[in-house]
Amino acid sequence: MKNKIKILLGRSTVSNSPAGIPAFYLIKPPETKGAEPTKTLLISLNLPLDQVKDEPEIFNRFVFIWEDYARESGYEFDYDKELYEKTGKGWKVVGD
Mean pLDDT by 10 residues, the chain (96 residues): 83 80 95 90 93 94 96 95 93 85
The answer to whether 93 touches 84, Cβ cutoff 8 Å, is: yes
Compute, in degrees rounded to 10, the torsion defined by CA atoms 36, 76, 1, 35: -10
Integer-rounded Cα Rg, in Å, for the chain is 14
Domain boundaries in the chain? 6-93
Quote the CA–CA distance of 94 and 91 in Å, as a whole number.
9
Quote the CA–CA distance of 23 and 41 in Å, as a whole number.
7
The reported pLDDT for the residue numbered 1 is 43
The reported pLDDT for the residue numbered 15 is 67
